[in-house]
Amino acid sequence: MNVLVVSPHPDDAELGMGGTIVRLLGQGHDVTVLDMTSGEPTPHGSEEIRARETAAANKALGNPRRINLGLPNRWLEATLENRVKLAEAIRRVRAEVLFVPYEYDAHPDHRATYHLAIDARFAAKLTRTDMAGEPCYPRKIIHYFCTHLKLDIQPTFVIDISEQMDAKLAAIACYQSQFYEGRGDKAGWIPEMVRTTNAHFGQRIERAYAEPFFAQEVLGLKGLDDVL
Ligand SMILES: [Zn+2]
């Protein structure tokens, strides 16, 4: 299956669903992570540092295909022009399943990514258009949680990542400029929050760790074999 993870910034895919990415790759799926922006500037990063950290994190995840749309960081907007760029990427990747950030978020780039992805999914199927590539309609959108709001998350389902958690934490640790440097006694606070959140949802299914997901559309099961 062709899976496209739409990530506002380099690190959001890792934080929200790094374990699932590792798991999907291990199951033989074709996974692409698309970062909407460079993620820079940030207080302790730079374009070069962030690109280096992203390459290292991507390797820790098991090397999903990684692309960057190069849109303006901090000022990302759900414009028609940006919708077309993302729709063309969906067509290029031939995405069957789209992972998209959760709708509610304090960060405008994350909210813009949500709206762009929903609209680009529809645009990607259009015929009789100037857009590059052949029509493509990802049949499911699944939302992952990389939100800056301290929400009490109510997932539709969770994925067991007990065996993938070490790789996920290793990938997150690659972003030293984002989670450790210059953060004083808050150094490592975000990775620890992710770990405890994943432990919480792991406990809900009697596993060590799990990542939460939300679906607006109905998801079907072939049977009960994969239900934990
Ligand atoms: Zn972000």
Q: Cα(187) to centroid of ligand 1, in Å?
A: 17
> What pLDDT does 114 receive?
98
Q: Cα(43) to centroid of ligand 1, in Å?
A: 14
Q: Cα(3) to centroid of ligand 1, in Å?
A: 20
β-strand 65-71 against 97-101: which pairing, if any?
A: unpaired
Q: Cα(101) to centroid of ligand 1, in Å?
A: 9
Q: Cα(148) to centroid of ligand 1, in Å?
A: 8
Confidence of residue 3 (pLDDT cuts 50, 70, 90): very high
The answer to whether the CB of 104 falls within 8 A of the CB of 70 is no
Instruction: Kindly list the distances between the CA atom of residue 228 and the CA atoms of 27, 150, 166, in Å, as whole numbers in the listed order.
Output: 17, 27, 21
33 forms beta bridges with 5, 66
Q: Cα(117) to centroid of ligand 1, in Å?
A: 15
Backbone φ and ψ of 202, nearest 5°: -65, -45
CA distance 76 to 58: 23
CA distance 32 to 175: 19
- How is residue 200 written in tokens? 């919480």
SS3 143: strand
Mean pLDDT of 32-39: 98
> What pLDDT does 147 receive?
94
Task: State the CB neighbour count (10 A cutoff) for residue 221.
Answer: 9
The answer to whether the CB of 42 falls within 8 A of the CB of 36 is no
Q: Cα(209) to centroid of ligand 1, in Å?
A: 22
The reply to whether omega before 10 is within 30° of 0 (cis) is: no
Confidence of residue 188 (pLDDT cuts 50, 70, 90): very high
Q: Cα(150) to centroid of ligand 1, in Å?
A: 14
Task: State the CB neighbour count (10 A cutoff) for residue 158.
Answer: 21
In Å, how far from its chain's centre is CA 187?
23
What are the residue ranges spanned by the domains of the chain? 2-213
Confidence of residue 134 (pLDDT cuts 50, 70, 90): very high
- Model pLDDT for residues 36-66, shown as the tens digit of each residue: 999 999 999 999 999 999 999 999 999 999 9
CA distance 4 to 42: 26
* CB-based contacts of 183, cutoff 8 Å, min separation 6: 44, 189
The answer to whether the CB of 160 falls within 8 A of the CB of 115 is no
Q: Cα(116) to centroid of ligand 1, in Å?
A: 15
Q: Cα(143) to centroid of ligand 1, in Å?
A: 14
Q: Cα(184) to centroid of ligand 1, in Å?
A: 21
- How is residue 189 written in tokens? 């606070």
- Model pLDDT for residues 70-100, shown as the tens digit of each residue: 999 999 999 999 999 999 999 999 999 999 9
> What pLDDT does 131 receive?
97
Mean pLDDT of 165-171: 98
Which one is the CATH code of 2-213: 3.40.50.10320, 3.90.45.10, 3.40.50.2300, 3.30.230.10?
A: 3.40.50.10320
144 secondary structure, DSSP code: E
The answer to whether the CB of 146 falls within 8 A of the CB of 110 is yes
Q: Cα(110) to centroid of ligand 1, in Å?
A: 6
Q: Cα(8) to centroid of ligand 1, in Å?
A: 5
